[in-house]
Amino acid sequence: MAVLVGKKAPVFHASAVIDGGEMTEKFSLDQYLGKKYVVFYFYPADFTFVCPTEILAFQKRAAEFEKRNVAVVGCSVDSQFSHWKWLNTEVNDGGIKGVKYPLVADQSKTIASAYDVLAGDYEAGENGELLFVGTPMAYRGLFLIDKNGIVQHQVVNNFPLGRSVDEVLRMVDALQFTEENGEVCPMDWHPGEDAMKATPEGVAAYLSKH
C-alpha cells in the first residue's frame, strides 16, 4: 500500500455526478487548488450496505466541512449512470437521495490504482490473457488534501469497516491548527485543547500538565 502523505495527490479527470444529479465529464480535484481543502474518499460500490451509511453521514455533516472550507468528494468504480440512479433513489428504498457533494466515476479503476486502494490487480494468465486477481473495487481509502494539493493524512479500511466522520473532522481541525499556529497536535487533540511546540521543552511542558 502506497503512502501518499507528503506527496502531491494523483491528478485525474473523470466523469462525476455533482449537486445530486448533474453529470459532468471532466471533473478534477484541480479546481480546488489554492481555494479549498479536500476530503477525497473511496467506497467499494453503489447500492451496497456500509457505503450509504458513510456517504449519508458526510452529507449530514456538510455544513461542518463547509465552515472549515473543505470540499468532500466521493469515488467508486461504478459508472456515473449508476451514481445518478443511486442519488435519485430514496433513502428508504436503499438510495442516497439528498447527497449533494460530487461522486466520481472510476470504471477504468485508474483513479483507485493511482491512490493505491484497488483491492486487487491485473495479471497475465497462462494463455497471455489479462486477468483481474482480487476484488475489482476500492478499499475504503480516505485522503485529506491541503490547498496546495499535498496529501496530509490518509487512512484505508477493508470493506466491512466503516469510517468515522468525527475523526475526519478532527484531522481537518488539527491540520488547520498547525498551519495557523505552528504548534503540533498531540494524540486525541481537539480544538480548544492544549497543543505543544515541537521542541523537547515543548513536549516536557505539555506532559507536565497532562
Specify the pLDDT at position 1. 66
Give residue 126's pLDDT band: very low, low, confident or very high (50, 70, 90).
Answer: confident
Does residue 5 fall inside a structural domain? no
Q: What is the mean pLDDT of residues 88-99?
A: 97
Q: Are 204 and 126 within one domain?
A: no
DSSP 113: H
Distance CA 27, CA 12 (A): 8
Q: What is the reported pLDDT for 177?
A: 97
- For position 187, what pLDDT does the model report? 93
Please tell me the distance from the alpha carbon of residue 105 to that of residue 88, in angstroms, as a whole number: 16
Give the residue with greater pLDDT, 77 vs 206: 77
Same domain, 125 and 192: no
Does pLDDT of 3 surpass 90?
A: yes
Q: Does residue 6 lie within any of the structural domains?
A: no
Verify that 50 and 123 share a domain, yes or no.
Answer: yes
Integer CA distances (angstroms), 148 to 66, 154, 169, in order: 18, 16, 19
Q: Is there a single domain that holds both residue 177 and residue 147?
A: no
- Kindly report the CATH number assigned to the domain that includes residue 204: 3.30.1020.10
For residue 208, the tally of other CB atoms under 10 A from its CB is: 7
Residues 97 and 45 reside in one and the same domain: yes
d(CA 36, CA 43): 22
pLDDT of 50: 97
Catalytic residues: 51
The Cβ-side half-sphere exposure at 60, using a 13 Å CA radius, reads 10
Residue 139 — φ and ψ, nearest 5°?
-65, 170
Between 127 and 1, residue with greater pLDDT? 127
Note the pLDDT tens digit of each residue in 152-171. 999 999 999 999 999 999 99
Return the pLDDT at 169.
98
The average pLDDT across 51-69 equals: 98
Banded model confidence at residue 96, pLDDT cuts 50, 70, 90? very high
pTM of the predicted protein model: 0.95
Cell of 100: 449533494
If asked whether residues 109 and 201 sit together in one domain, one would say no
| Mean pLDDT, all residues of the chain | 96
At 128 the pLDDT is: 84
Helical H segments across 115-190, by residue range:
165-181
| Same domain, yes or no: 140 and 201 | no
pLDDT digit string, tens, across residues 11-47: 999 999 999 999 999 999 999 999 999 999 999 999 9
Domain CATH for 129: 3.40.30.10
Number of domains, the chain:
2
Domain that includes residue 29, residue range = 14-161
pLDDT band at 130 (very low <50, low <70, confident <90, very high): confident
Q: Are residues 82 and 136 in the same domain?
A: yes
CB of 8 closer than 8 Å to CB of 150: yes
